[in-house]
Structure formats: C-alpha cells, structure tokens
Structure 1
Amino acid sequence: MSLFAQCRKLHSIQSLTRIPVKGTCLKRFHSSPRVRNTAEQKKLRSPRVVFSGIQPTGIPHLGNYLGALSNWVKLQKTAAPEDELLFSIVGWHALTLPQDPKTLSDSRMDMLATLLAIGIDPKRSILFHQDQNQNHTELAWILSCLAPMGKLQRMTTWKAKLAASRNANDESEVDESLLNVGLFTYPILQAADIMVYKATHIPVGEDQKQHLELAKNLADTFNRAYKAGVFPSPHLVTTPCCRILSLKDPTSKMSKSAPDTASRVLLTDTFSAISLKIKASVTDSLGPITYDPILRPGTSNLLTILAACVDEDVHSVAGRYEGKGHEALKGDVAEAIEKMIEGPRLEFERIRGERGYLEEVARDGALRARERSEETMREVRATVGLP
C-alpha cells in the first residue's frame, strides 16, 4: 500500500486532516489545541501599566532619542487599548545635582515640548511632570522606612553621577563625603515613581536595571511586611535599542553633561550643526570602513548611528562601505540624522512657542496622574495604619 493510501485510510479511521507535501502526508488531529491569533492573545492577557521617565536637563540628544524616546512612541503605537501608559518628566530627580532655577524651569518646558514633538500623544498616554504630583514623595518616604542601607550602598549610578559632577575621570577618585542624601536615596524615589501607579512594565536601559531590581525588592518587602498584596512586581521591558557613544570620546556614552557640546547631537540641531559635529567626530586611520566596536569604536559608533537612523542591521550597513573612507560615511550619517529629526525639530519649534498649550497639557497630565496615583495611596495609607 502506498504512503498516500495509508494516510487516506488513517484519515477515515481517526478523522485526521491531511496535507500532501512533496509526496508525503502531514497530519493534524482535530482535537489539537487551536493556535490563537495575536488579537485573541491580547484579549486574554492582563492589561499592562507602562511607566517611564526622563530628567528635564536640557534638550534630549541623539542617544536619548534612539535609546529610549523613540521606543516610547513605539510602545504607544503597539499598546493594546486597555493598556495604560505613563510618561513622566522627573523634575525631583534633577535636583540631585546642582541646578540653576531659571534653566531648570526652561528645561521642564523644553522636555515637554520635545516629547510632544516626537509623537507622545497626551490623549492616549498620561504625560506629566513628576514634580506636580506629591504622591511620589509621600510613597518614597514610606518606602525609605523599609529600604536597607546596604542595598543603596551597592547602587553604582550615584557614584558615576557624582564623578561626572566633579569632572573626575575615575569614580574611585570621588570623595563620598561630598555625596548629598538625595543623590544617595534617589533610587527609592525612582521606585516610588513606578509603584505609585502599580506599574507592571518598565522600559529602561541597562544602566537602570539595578534600580528596577530595587523597585521589585521594595514591592516584595512592603507586601510581606504588611501581609498585603498591594504592589505588583514590575518587569523590565527590553526594547530594541542601541547605545550611542560620544562623538568625541567613543569609549563613553553620549551625554548631556559632557563639557564638550560637540560630543552630542541635539534633537534641535540644524543640519549645518549636525554636519559639523559628525565631520569632527573621532574615528581612526585604519583604512576602509569596517564594523569593529573594540578596535574601531569611533567608526563603529557612526555605523551604529546610521543603522539606527535607517532601521537596518549594522553589519549590512557596514558592508555598503567596502572600499570607502570616513568622508563618505560621515556625509551619509549627517544626512540620515537630518532626515530622521527634521520633522520633530520643526514640530518642537512650533510647540515651544505655544506656552498656553504646554501649560494646559501639563495641568491635564498632572491631574490624571494624581487621580490615578491617589487610588494607590489610599490603599497604602490604610495598609500602614495612616488616615
């Protein structure tokens, strides 16, 4: 009996589905579990509460945009209708280092205008200033009464921030006696930022992973201490992102606090400014273009930027420069950046002049954030025995 005949006979006995493929027969029992489509899966899963924040310390640079902000927009576009999204400008965190009051006030407005310009929709997401919601600091105090000193001492970010503020080349050179309490305990406030909304999914970079672990630990500590399941355990959202390095020192990240302004491309830079910065960026003299982050960090950084701008694999992009030099690469990088940020830059310039609109968005966002977080704080107060 042929293989096909055997399959047909088996079908009549067991009611199998048969699919002839290249002379053979694939079968599937009718009783097998039905594969659910994406829409059905979304209906079955619990709604997510997504929270992320950014400091209002100047105009975001290319690294901020490609590493985080563009992913906020993607999250907003792909979120299920029942998901909540909260994006915050964290003014209290900015105070951990010295700030000029006028500059900070302007930076808060600039950051709000930037987030609107890149596509954050204040009707779909709750977009707000953290410093306009006192529930963050109230919960932070309650959590600080549960947080062990040992965990905070193992945090590494405050050391890097203190070193940067003192222009120290090595974190070991920093005198810890200069550390202010806010810079030491701000991971607790960061945990409160997350927990006050009972956020379940947190899109953060690798440098903030340690802080998310603290938030998870504090949520668990609170729940166990008061024998109440008040807080969910927040989960890290890993999104495709690239680490953009300084144009002047490709061994470190692109940073708003770096003394040399030519080390970063701002989202408000003109094409002329972008071209000058990219043209002056540090590369090497090792010959034709190749992607090698270890031996050629500067060249590889430019390839990474270009690949991110055109949304392609960096190795494929590097392959197009076989036999070409840095002049061609730098020209293409500058043009790709301009093409990507030209729209947001024009929108920022328009929105930044509409102060009344910005204040309205800020008021509405703060109101929605306070209403949302007050639900949590009523539960927290009752749990710990406060009115």
Structure 2
Amino acid sequence: MTRFSGVTPSGNATLGNYLGAIRRWASEGRPGDLYFVSDLHGMTSAYNPQRLRVLARELLANLVASGIEPDQVFVQSDLLPQLGALTWILECTCSFGEAARMTQFKEKSNRRELEATPVRVSLFTYPVLMAADILLQGADEVPVGEDQAQHVELARTLARRFNGAYGDAFVVPRAVTPPAGARIMDLADPSRKMDKSARDAAGVLFVMDEPDLLRRKIRRAVTDGLGRLEYRPAEQPGLANLLEILAACTGKPVRETAGGFGSYGELKEAVTEAVIEELRPVRERTQELLADTAELDRIRARGAALASERGAHRLAAARRLAGVG
C-alpha cells in the first residue's frame, strides 16, 4: 500500500504546511509511502527560475529535517523524462471536456483574465501531469484536501480508461481525507489561510523564520477588543487561531488551551515559545542540510533514482500497450 503526497515550492514552507501535512507525514508515514517536491507544478503561472530552484531545495531539506526518511522523498523535475512521456500518453487518454471541467482551472483562469495575466496551457493540462505523478509511482492512496479531490478522480478515470482500452498498466488510486488537523490562519487576517505564496507575509509564520521574527509576527497578531479568553472561532477568529496554533504545538485539546492566561499578551507569549520550540529542530536541521551541499545532493539523487526505478516498469508497460514502446 503506497500513500503519495507532495508540496509545491510556490513559497517557503509555513507553520500551516508543517503542522497540517509535513509533521504528519513524518509521524504517521509507512515504509511504502512517498513524498515529493512538486516543482513542475510551480511553473503553471509566472515564476522566477532561480527562486523555484532554491525553494525546491529548501523544501526537500524541510521534508528530511522533519523526520521523513530520505529514501521516501524526491524532487518531481528529476523524473521529467518519465513524467513527460507518461503525461503525453495520459493526455491522449483524457478528453478536452474532462480537463475543462476542473474547478481549479476555471477559478484560476478566470482570476488570471481579470488580472489581464496570460493563462498558460500548463494550467489547463496540470491535472493530467498530477495524474502522471500518481500513476507512475503506483500510488494506492492520495491524501488531498477538497480542492484537489477532483484531480485525483481524474487520475482514477484515466487509469481505468487506459487499463480498459489497452491493458492493465496502472493501479487505480483513491483520494483519502487526511486526519483533521489545525487549520492555521493568517495572523494579520484570520479570515484567510496562512499561505506560503501570500503577497503580504506579515501574518505568515515560515518554518525558516528566526525566533525574533516569529516573536514579532505573533506579537502583532490580530485579536479583538472583547477581552474574553475563550475558544469562539465565529466571534473571535484571531484569538481562536492563536489557541489552535498553541494546541497543535503542545498536543492539548484546543478548548483547554485558553485556561491559565490573564491576557491576550500572556497567550501570545505562550504561543511564541511553543512555535519557536516546535520549529527549532526543523529549522536547524534544514540549515545543516542546505550548508552541506554534497549531502543534500546525495539525498536528492538517491531519491530520484529510487522513484525512477519504481516507475520504470509502469511507464514501459504503458508505452508498450499504447503502441509507442
């Protein structure tokens, strides 16, 4: 049984990415699971090549520093020859209507048009690349949020269609809902999720932020003027966000975290110390890996070799059955 998840280097990893996904991958992962840095997915809109390269290395280091086994991680672009070939085969299996129905494409392309920004073809075909990611590695389970579930369903459809038309080449994956975790919101605007690609990072806590910077951001976190230290997400979203962060870092039930504090300031101090201590070992180990270029290159090369070897027979079978191999 293979569980397969990825993270896109559209920005530096945030506390939300770490608590909501990366930490769970490290603690709950099984020997056959795979985790990847989806740098090709980061090319569907305007990007800086050098920044993409730097972010991909940093995210790879973050994954390993968080405790994920090095043999279970890889960078997507290192498999570009395989993924390019399989994506084409799957594009020849996918209908235009199926790709056009993807909700994310419709939402993002509409936003690009409103901003007078060109809509790239890759934004349209990206779900097929995602299907290739999944099917190449023979993933059984793909933990995704609601916004990606439609893409996994497309991968299921393409796998079944190819297998039925040409012969069995692919495992038919299924989307699974990850265990509910803290939904970390932006400290400056608790109505929006903490986003690694946010234009304004004042309310975003990044994994690699130094303690002093984390302290300043948390101290400035939006709360309210009610003065009630209770967990009321609808009425006090900023306070509730701080309590959820503290609960996630300490392992305590969120409704118990408000007790013992006499003011919002005291709570912010507790949140600050909890976040700093939670992120400290990950940040320090990431810095060590980034400084040891040879070691990180070795981890990356081995991860790529293992992932490539794992998918080679599936691609060979798909090419042979499709008549191009």
User: Is 1:278 aligned to residue 226 of structure 2?
Assistant: no
Residue 361 (structure 1) aligned to one of 294, 299, 302? 299
Contact 1:244 1:304 (8 Å CA) reproduced: yes
Residue 282 (structure 2) aligned to one of 334, 339, 344? 344
From the superposition, tell whether residues 117 and 229 of structure 1 become closer, same or farther in structure 2 (CA, over 3 Å): closer
Bigger drift between 129-138 and 218-227 goes to 218-227
User: Is 1:381 aligned to residue 323 of structure 2?
Assistant: no
Give, in whole Å, the separation in 1 of the partners of 2:169 and 2:288.
Answer: 46
Cα distance, 1:173 vs. partner? 4.2
Residue 244 (structure 1) aligned to one of 173, 179, 184? 184
Q: Residue type of the partner of 2:86?
A: L
Q: Using CA pairs under 8 Å that are at least 6 residues apart, name the structure with larger relative contact order, 1 or 2.
A: 2
For 1:22, the equivalent position in structure 2 comes to none
For 1:290, the equivalent position in structure 2 comes to 230
**Identical aligned pairs, as a percentage?**
36
User: Is 1:56 aligned to residue 9 of structure 2?
Assistant: yes
Equivalence map 1:254-269=2 (5 Å): 254-269=194-209
From the superposition, tell whether residues 342 and 163 of structure 1 become closer, same or farther in structure 2 (CA, over 3 Å): farther
Contact 1:128 1:365 (8 Å CA) reproduced: yes
For 1:111, the equivalent position in structure 2 comes to 59
Give, in whole Å, the separation in 2 of the partners of 1:365 and 1:185.
Answer: 26
Residue 74 (structure 2) aligned to one of 125, 128, 135? 128
Bigger drift between 260-269 and 219-228 goes to 219-228
For 2:134, the equivalent position in structure 1 comes to 194
Contact 2:169 2:317 (8 Å CA) reproduced: no
Contact 2:153 2:175 (8 Å CA) reproduced: no
Contact 1:66 1:242 (8 Å CA) reproduced: yes
Cα distance, 1:204 vs. partner? 2.3
Give, in whole Å, the separation in 2 of the partners of 1:198 and 1:359.
Answer: 25
For 1:30, the equivalent position in structure 2 comes to none
Q: Residue type of the partner of 1:332?
A: A
Runs (4+) off by over 6 Å: none
TM-score by length of 1: 0.78
Give, in whole Å, the separation in 2 of the partners of 1:363 and 1:305.
Answer: 35
Give, in whole Å, the separation in 2 of the partners of 1:291 and 1:152.
Answer: 42
Contact 1:49 1:198 (8 Å CA) reproduced: yes
Give, in whole Å, the separation in 2 of the partners of 1:305 and 1:130.
Answer: 31
Q: Residue type of the partner of 2:92?
A: C
- C-alpha deviations, 1:206-254, integer Å up to 9, x for none? 3322222222222222222335363223341522322111111111111
Residue 101 (structure 1) aligned to one of 25, 28, 49? 49
Cα distance, 1:276 vs. partner? 0.6
Give, in whole Å, the separation in 2 of the partners of 1:252 and 1:279.
Answer: 19
From the superposition, tell whether residues 241 and 206 of structure 1 become closer, same or farther in structure 2 (CA, over 3 Å): farther
What secondary structure, in the 3-state scheme, does the structure 1 residue paired with 2:33 have? strand
Count of residues paired in the alignment: 324
Contact 1:56 1:108 (8 Å CA) reproduced: yes
Equivalence map 1:1-387=2 (5 Å): 48-76=1-29, 79=30, 83-123=31-71, 125=72, 127-133=73-79, 134-159=81-106, 161=108, 173=114, 178-228=118-168, 230-321=170-261, 324-387=262-325
- C-alpha deviations, 1:5-47, integer Å up to 9, x for none? xxxxxxxxxxxxxxxxxxxxxxxxxxxxxxxxxxxxxxxxxxx
For 1:9, the equivalent position in structure 2 comes to none
Bigger drift between 144-153 and 127-136 goes to 144-153
- C-alpha deviations, 1:100-130, integer Å up to 9, x for none? 122122112211211111111214x2x1111
From the superposition, tell whether residues 287 and 349 of structure 1 become closer, same or farther in structure 2 (CA, over 3 Å): same
Q: Residue type of the partner of 1:346?
A: E
Gaps of 5+ in 2: none
